[in-house]
Amino acid sequence: MGVAELVREFEWLSETGAPRVAAWVDRHPALAGCVNLADVVEAVRTDPDPVLQALLREVGAGCLLAARVVLQTMLPKMIVMSRSDRGAFVMDYVAQLWLRILAYPLDRRPRRIAANLALDTLKAVQAERRPGVVLLEPHRFAELPGMVAPDPPRETRGLLRTALDRGLVDPHTHAVLTSVYAEGCSDKEAAGRYGVSPVTIQRRCQRGVRILSAHAVELADAL
């Protein structure tokens, strides 16, 4: 997925997001007057901290759509940051931003939220380039006991979809894992598809498999 796909995805989400926005408005005065997701994005631009606080409260309650709205509001900043970074692509920034949104410590850092997210994302992208990263070979995915049989594209898709639905992996990690382990893309092919480097693909796979391994029993029971 690239920036264009993210924009199209958000447009699609906006077509069905009005009921969720109405529920947010009932709970958060900062969102008063918002009818659809585009209104929420505009509200962030007008009065960032109160609106982002409201959205992040919803994220903390498990609402991934709220996280997606925060990401959308930050997308222009991610594009600008990536253009000045020769060692990373825009989707590297987007993926790290998504993780920062999901884990943002709102109670400790309720002010300058957008700036904090941008800085945390930059630090995370830079940290990925530090030496000592252990790269994961694709065949390691089949080592998860009791979860994946040899050459199981259908089962693998189901496993990864379950992990996504349960919030164990973010949408970008899910997409990368699906490309590599269900569709058989090479690191280079997946890198071209998502606009990142092959090393970044391997890092995503490593992180994703580590998460799946930690939740192996839960996922096996759900399949």
Q: What is the dihedral of CA 72, 78, 80, 85, to 10 degrees?
A: -160
Distance, CA of 167 to CA of 38 (rounded, Å): 24
Q: Rounded mean pLDDT of the chain?
A: 83
Are residues 149 and 121 part of one domain? Answer: no
Are residues 179 and 78 part of one domain? Answer: no
Are residues 41 and 108 part of one domain? Answer: yes
191 occurs within a structural domain: yes
pLDDT per residue as tens digits for the range 14-44: 988 999 999 999 999 999 999 999 999 999 9
Paired tokens of 99: 């993780």
89 occurs within a structural domain: yes
CATH number for the domain that contains residue 216? 1.10.10
101 occurs within a structural domain: yes
pTM: 0.62
Paired tokens of 62: 């498990």
Instruction: Determine the average pLDDT of the residues in 184-200.
Output: 83
Distance, CA of 73 to CA of 77 (rounded, Å): 8
- Would you state the pLDDT for residue 130? 54
Enclosing domain of residue 172:
138-222
Distance, CA of 164 to CA of 181 (rounded, Å): 15
133 occurs within a structural domain: no
Are residues 147 and 81 part of one domain? Answer: no
Instruction: Determine the average pLDDT of the residues in 126-143.
Output: 51
Last residue of a domain, which of 127, 148, 179?
Answer: 127
Instruction: Determine the average pLDDT of the residues in 115-120.
Output: 95
Give the ranges where the chain is alpha helix by DSSP (H).
3-16, 18-27, 37-46, 48-60, 64-83, 90-102, 113-127, 153-165, 171-177, 187-194, 198-214, 216-222
Are residues 26 and 59 part of one domain? Answer: yes
Are residues 119 and 29 part of one domain? Answer: yes
Distance, CA of 21 to CA of 37 (rounded, Å): 7
**Is the separation of the CB atoms in 173 and 208 below 8 Å?**
yes
132 occurs within a structural domain: no
Number of domains in the chain: 2
Are residues 173 and 110 part of one domain? Answer: no
Are residues 168 and 118 part of one domain? Answer: no
Last residue of a domain, which of 127, 152, 184?
Answer: 127
Are residues 154 and 91 part of one domain? Answer: no
Taking alpha carbons only, the member of 84, 77, 86, 52 closest to residue 66 is 52
CA distances from 32 to 21, 24, 28, 71 (A): 10, 9, 7, 21
Are residues 109 and 48 part of one domain? Answer: yes
65 occurs within a structural domain: yes
Are residues 164 and 116 part of one domain? Answer: no
Are residues 149 and 58 part of one domain? Answer: no
* CA dihedral (80, 84, 85, 89) positive or negative: positive
Instruction: Kindly state the percentage of the chain with pLDDT values over 70.
Output: 85
Last residue of a domain, which of 127, 155, 188?
Answer: 127
Instruction: Determine the average pLDDT of the residues in 156-174.
Output: 84
